[in-house]
Amino acid sequence: MNRIVFFSMLALTITACSSVDNKHAVGGFKYAKTSEAKKLIMPEGMDAPNKHPDFQVSNEINHNGPIGKYLDVRAPSLVLPVAASSRVIAGSEDAIVWFDKILEDRELLTFIELALTNELLSAEVGLNAVEGETGVYESDWFNSESESGWIFKSIDSSESIRYRYQLFAKPHGRSVSLQVSLIDYMKTDLKGGSKSINPIDQQRAEMAMVNEIINQVDYMYRLEQREIRVLRANKQMVVIGENPEAEPAYIIEMDMDYLWSNLPVFFEKHGFVITDLNETKKIYYVDFARPDISIWDKLWGDAVPIVDISDAKYQFVLTKIDNQTALTIYDANANVLPIETLNRIFDVMEPGLAFRDVY
């Protein structure tokens, strides 16, 4: 008998917990019925106490908003720009995100359109271009159901949503915005059916959808990076050749701006310290000091390969050659390092300049 009572109480407890409304405030709401205090009237001959304007509560507010238990206390939804080179406009309450170009061999607008298509395919929802409008799409219905019961399940409610997606590319094509808006809504539960949604739930739904697409863009970027790593692992990215002035140089199969932004990683790892730079002429001025390697680094295999050159000042100069970049190294007297030196240190420079162990 005691066991039956125990399980009955447990069932009631679970039911009570599941019925808690996490949307609205809980507790006492006496303040909602409290009238505003009357203005203080001072007797004749007495001075009123000082009032500081910083503590003045204005009555010019929306008195038609929810009060007490009807107040929605959920945290505000935010667009989360987790994908590389994604950003939001500060202070914006719209479900909109901007993407900036990071893949030079891909058209950004096409890439974002593909991410949008892939996201809806994963949800098994159709996507249709809006006739007569450029960069505007609408989804088929996203459907969700809420069930209850253990052995015999029943549908308590069903919800269906359709979205509009607007893509806008700036004229230079290196920035694209994506805005998501809810255009159709239907809900059916035990209370009946409705085609209206409150503004807070609408905003949360729009924010959630744009965040799903951002996650898809981030996933596709990661796939691209993986493919690049595989290509670099199986491809000779660095060879010895000549710069446009016919001087010995490393020829690197990499965009010059990309190599310029990543060279500090190479310097830090191999004992170079940047002392100055000229971004316009693409020159790094560095000091080289041979790194100290402890016996423990050697034992544990953590020793960094040493660039076999003298401790001195050097200049690393980048020059664009078609889709490649020439890296010419000069000493402090502006003398180019000879091809014999480039060959001697090639086994260290090649994997370092290809960034095989970094990306």
- Is the pLDDT at 250 greater than 90? The verdict is yes
pLDDT, position 92: 83
Per cent of the chain over pLDDT 90 is 49
pLDDT, position 1: 47
Burial class (CB in 10 A: 0-12, 13-18, 19+), 148: exposed
pLDDT, position 294: 52
Query: Model confidence at 33, in pLDDT bands (50, 70, 90)?
Result: confident
Alpha-carbon span 242 to 22, nearest angstrom = 68
Alpha-carbon span 158 to 146, nearest angstrom = 6
Burial class (CB in 10 A: 0-12, 13-18, 19+), 120: buried
- Which range (43-52, 63-72, 261-270, 275-284) has the least confidence? 63-72
Per cent of the chain over pLDDT 70 is 84
CA torsion 40→46→52→56, rounded to 10°?
10
Interval 219-242: pLDDT, tens: 999 988 877 777 666 667 899 999
Query: Model confidence at 293, in pLDDT bands (50, 70, 90)?
Result: low
| Helix locations, 98-198, DSSP H | 108-122
> Which residues fall within 8 angstroms of residue 111, CB to CB, at 6 or more apart?
103, 217, 220
Query: Model confidence at 28, in pLDDT bands (50, 70, 90)?
Result: confident
pLDDT, position 113: 96
For the chain, helix (H) and strand (E) counts, in that order, are 7, 14
Alpha-carbon torsion 264, 268, 271, 272, what sign?
Answer: positive
Q: In order of start, what are the domains of the chain with their CATH numbers? A: 75-147+154-228 (3.30.530.50), 238-354 (3.30.310.170)
Angle formed at CA 258 by CA 252 and CA 263, multiple of 5 degrees: 75
Average pLDDT, the chain: 84
Segment 237-266 mean pLDDT: 92
Instruction: Give 276-287 as a 3 state SS string.
Output: EEECCCCEEEEE
Per the CB < 8 A criterion, the answer to whether 318 and 282 are in contact is: yes
Torsions phi, psi of 330, nearest 5? -115, 155
Alpha-carbon span 305 to 309, nearest angstrom = 12
Per the CB < 8 A criterion, the answer to whether 290 and 331 are in contact is: no
- Which range (221-225, 269-273, 279-283) has the least confidence? 221-225
